[in-house]
Structure 1
Amino acid sequence: MTPYGSFTFFFIVAILLAPTIILGLQGKRFQTYNMFVTILALGLIFSSTLRGAIALILFTIWQVLLIKSYIAYRKKANGNSIFYLAVILSILPLALSKLMPYFSQVNLIGFLGISYLTFKGIQLIMETRDGLIKKDIPLSRLLYFILFFPTISSGPIDRYRRFEKNFQAEVTADQYKLLLYQGINKIFQGFLYKYIIGYSINHFFIAKLRFYAHSQFEHQLYYMYSYSLYLFFDFAGYSAFAIGVSYIMGIKSPENFNLPFISRNIKDFWNRWHMSLSFWFRDFVYMRFVFWIMKKKWIKNRNLVSNLGYILLFLLMGIWHGLEIQYILYGIYHALLMVIYNSFERFNKKHKWWPQNKFTHAVAIIITFHFVCFGFYIFSGQLFHKGV
C-alpha cells in the first residue's frame, strides 16, 4: 500500500495512532507504542510485495551493522580509510538499486524509500566521525529512527540528534494538544495541496492541454508551468502528510517547503525547495568537498572551489533521481545556474549593478520563477518526449 495514497491508508493510520493520541492527551509517554505502530505500518506498506519487504529487512540489517560497527570503531580509533569504507558500503545498496534496472527487469535490491533510509545511514556515520554522535545508540532507537514510517518513502530527511531530542522529551498533556493540533492542520493542508489543488491541475489542465493549446509551442509552454505547479502541490502535500503524522507521534519532522516560488534567486530557491534534501546535500556533499579541497590546498581560489562544489552537488542530485538524460541535464542545468548566480553575486557586491529595493525584489522573483519552471520542464522529460 502506497503511503498517503488512499483514504484507506489514512483510516488505518488513524486507528493505529488512536492509543498514541489517548496517551498523549493524558501526558503519558507513547514512544514505545509508536515503535510498535511503525512495525505494523511498515507491514501494511510492504504487504503487497514480499520482495520489497525482504529487501527492506536485509538493507536495514546491513545499515545497522555498519553504523554499530563504525560507532564501536570510532571509540577506539579514527582512521580515515575505515570511515571512507563505511560510507561507501552504506551507499552501495542504493547505488546497486539505481543501476540494476539497466541490467535486469527485476530489481532485487531496490524498495520504496531506499534513498531516504540510505541518507539517514550515511548521516549517522558522518556525524559519528565528526564527534557529534559520541555514545552508542540503543538498537531499538536506531531502528526507530531509520524506519520511522511517516517519512519512509520521500522524506523529509530528519537528523538523528534532533530526532533523539524529541524522542527523549517529556511531553505534557498541554504540549501534546498543540502537537496534535499542528499535526491535524498539516494533514488537512496536505489534502488541500495534493488531492484538491494538485489533482485539479493534473486532471483538469495538464490532461486536457490539447483543448487549451493552439500550437506545439503553447502546448509545451502551458505544460512547463502547469507541471511545475503540480509537482509542488503534489510533493508539498505528501510532505505535509508525513510531517502531520510525525507530529501526532511526538516527532517534529523538519519542514520540506517554504514558499519556493517566491524565491528571489536560485540559491534562495534551494533554501526553500525540498529543504531537508537540499540541506543534506549541502552539509554532507558540498561543505565537505569544499573543506577537503581547501584543507589539501589543491585549489587556492575559493570561488573556483565553491563553483566546483556546486557542480558536484547538483550532478549527484541529478544522478540520484536516475540515469535518464533528463535527470542528468536537470542536475547540470541547476549547477550552471548556481555557478552563474555565484559569479553575478560577487560582481554585484563590487559594482552595485543590481540595487536592492521592492521593485528589483519583485523582478528577481519573476525571473527566478521562470528559470525554475524551465528546470522542472527538463526534469519532466517532456523536452525529449513530445506529447503529454
Structure 2
Amino acid sequence: MSSFLRSLPNWQPYGTPNYFIFLLLTLIPIAIAIWFGKRLPIYEELVSIAFISLMFGGLHYLQFFAFIFYLVWQTIVVFAYQGYRKKANHNWLFYISILLSLLPLLIIKIEPTIFGHNSLLGFLGISYLTFRNVAMIMEMRDGELKNVTIWSFLRFMIFLPTISSGPIDRYRRFNEDYVNVPSREDYLNMLEKAVWYLMLGALYKFIISHTLVTYIIPPIKLAALAAGGVMNWHTILYMYAWGFDLFFDFAGYSMFAVGISYIMGIKTPINFNKPFLARDLKDFWNRWHMSLSFWFRDFVFMRLVYTMMKRKVFKNRNTTSSVAYLLNMTLMGFWHGLHWYYVAYGIFHGVGLIINDWWIRKKKAVNKSRKLIGQQPLADNKWTHGLGIFITFHVVMISLLIFSGFLDTLWFHNLLSQPK
C-alpha cells in the first residue's frame, strides 16, 4: 500500500488544470444521475477515495494512513456518544467525548511547539473535519441530531469538495441535500451557479492571487525586511498586498469547493460575502470565512454566554458578552497555531468586537436621549456608512498583518536588516 501511494502523483485540491480536468470528467456520471433524479452513492465514494489518495500521494503518503486512523477514531467517538446519548445525558461524558474528538487536532497543534517537528497524525484538512465531528457531538447532546447511520457519517466526512479546507458544513444540512435530490429545474440553476463559482474562483486564485504572490509581494517583502525597524512604508504596502492575497487565494479555493459541490447536487454554504465592504467588525465576521465564524458563534460564543449567564458569573450581561467575545476570538487564534501572532490576532479581534459592541450600545443610548429632547438621531447615511467601511477595512488589514507572521520576522528574525 505504501509503495502504491508513493507512486501516485501528489495533486493538491484545485491546484492544477489537470486536477480540474480529471475531476470534472469523473463528475459527469454523477451529474447525469442527478439529472434523472438519482444518486450514485458507491460511485461517489469511490471518486472521493480516489482523489483523497491523490491528495495524499507521493511524498505525502503517510498522511493517508493518518487520515484513515483519524476517520476510524472519530467514528468510534461519535457513535459511542450517540449510543450513550440515547440512554443518558451526563455532562462529564459529553466533555470527555468532545475532548476525545479534539485530541488528534490538539496533538498536531501542540507537538511541533514541544518537540520541534510535525506530528505523524497530521494531514491536510484535519481541522475542518474536527469541526464537523465536534458539531455533531454537540448537536447530539442538544437532542437535535439522532439516529445518524455510519454510512451517512462517512459520506459526510469524506465529501471530496470540502475535505481539505472547507467550507465547514453541518451534518443535518448536508444530509438533507443528499437525501433530497434536486429537481431538474433546481439542478439547472445549481449548474449555472457552479459555472459562475468556478469562473470566479479561477479569477481570484489563478489570476489575482497568483499575480500578487508571484510578482508583487516578493519585492515588497524584501524591501520591507531590508528597511527594518518597528514599522516602515514597505511593511504598510506588504500589509495591503498580503491581506488581498489571503482573501483572493482562500475565497478562490472556497468558490471552487462550492462550485464542485453544486455539480454534485450539494448546496455547500458560501464562505465569503464581500468582507471588505463590512461597515464594522461584527459585520465583517458575518462576511469573512463565514462557515468558520458561524461555527465559533454557534458552538463556542453562544454556549459561553449561556453558561456564564446560567451560573451568574457576571451580573452585567454586557460584561458576559464581552468576556465571551474575548475568549471566543482568542480560542480561534489558538486554533490557527501556537504562535504569538495567531494568539495576538485573536485577542485583537476579541477586543475589537468588544469595542464594536460598546459603540452600538452607546449609539442607541445617545439616540434615545436625543429623541427624548426632540433632537434628530445621530447621522446614519451613505457617508457614515462609507466611513465605517473605511475604518473597518484598515482595522482588518492591520489584524491580517499581525496574522501573517511578517512582524515576527521583521522584529525578531530579520537577517536582512542586521548589520554585517
What is the TM-score with the length of structure 2 in the denominator? 0.88
Gaps of 5+ in 2: 1-10, 368-376
Of 24, 32, 37, the residue aligned with 1:27 is: 37
**Distance in 2 separating the partners of 1:53 and 1:210:** 35
Q: Which residue of 2 aligns with 1:295?
A: 310
Q: Which residue of 2 aligns with 1:97?
A: 108
Q: Does 1:370 align with 2:394?
A: yes
* SS at 1:76 equivalent: coil
Contact 2:34–2:181, Cα closer than 8 Å, also in 1: no
Can you list the C-alpha shifts for 1:82-105, whole angstroms capped at 9, x where unaligned?
Answer: 111101111111000101112142
Q: Which residue of 1 aligns with 2:128?
A: 116
* SS at 2:196 equivalent: helix
Q: Which residue of 2 aligns with 1:160?
A: 171
* Gap change, CA 1:215 and 1:104, over 3 Å in 2: closer
> Which stretch shifts more, 51-60 or 179-188?
179-188
Q: What's the offset of the Cα at 1:79?
A: 1.0
**Distance in 2 separating the partners of 1:22 and 1:247:** 13
Q: Does 1:229 align with 2:244?
A: yes
Contact 2:221–2:238, Cα closer than 8 Å, also in 1: no
Q: What's the offset of the Cα at 1:60?
A: 0.7
* Gap change, CA 1:312 and 1:210, over 3 Å in 2: closer
**Distance in 2 separating the partners of 1:105 and 1:229:** 30
Q: Which residue of 1 aligns with 2:374?
A: none
> Which stretch shifts more, 157-166 or 6-15?
6-15
**Distance in 1 separating the partners of 2:361 and 2:285:** 19
* SS at 1:298 equivalent: coil
**Distance in 1 separating the partners of 2:221 and 2:120:** 40
Can you list the C-alpha shifts for 1:319-367, whole angstroms capped at 9, x where unaligned?
Answer: 1111111111111111111111111221111113853111100001000
Of 186, 189, 192, the residue aligned with 1:175 is: 186
Q: Which residue of 2 aligns with 1:41?
A: 51
Alignment: residue pair count? 387
Tell me the C-alpha RMSD between the 2 structures.
Answer: 1.8
Contact 1:228–1:373, Cα closer than 8 Å, also in 2: yes
Q: What's the offset of the Cα at 1:370?
A: 0.4
Q: What's the offset of the Cα at 1:222?
A: 0.7
Letter in 1 for 2:51: A
**Distance in 2 separating the partners of 1:176 and 1:348:** 46
Q: What's the offset of the Cα at 1:106?
A: 4.3
> Which stretch shifts more, 16-25 or 242-251?
16-25
Q: Which residue of 1 aligns with 2:76?
A: 65
Q: Does 1:280 align with 2:295?
A: yes
Q: What's the offset of the Cα at 1:137?
A: 1.4
Letter in 2 for 1:344: W
> Which stretch shifts more, 256-265 or 64-73?
64-73
Gaps of 5+ in 1: none
Q: Does 1:86 align with 2:73?
A: no
Larger Rg: 2
* Gap change, CA 1:354 and 1:382, over 3 Å in 2: farther
**Distance in 1 separating the partners of 2:118 and 2:289:** 30
Q: What's the offset of the Cα at 1:384?
A: 2.2
Q: Does 1:77 align with 2:88?
A: yes
Q: Does 1:5 align with 2:15?
A: yes
Letter in 1 for 2:252: G
Q: Which runs of 4+ in 1 moved over 6 A?
A: 210-216
* SS at 1:272 equivalent: coil
* SS at 1:290 equivalent: helix
Contact 2:81–2:137, Cα closer than 8 Å, also in 1: yes
**Distance in 1 separating the partners of 2:279 and 2:55:** 39
Can you list the C-alpha shifts for 1:155-193, whole angstroms capped at 9, x where unaligned?
Answer: 100011100110110323332222222112211111000
**Distance in 2 separating the partners of 1:236 and 1:106:** 27
**Distance in 1 separating the partners of 2:132 and 2:49:** 18
Q: What's the offset of the Cα at 1:25?
A: 2.9
* SS at 2:387 equivalent: helix
Letter in 1 for 2:247: F
Can you list the C-alpha shifts for 1:101-123, whole angstroms capped at 9, x where unaligned?
Answer: 12142411111100000000000
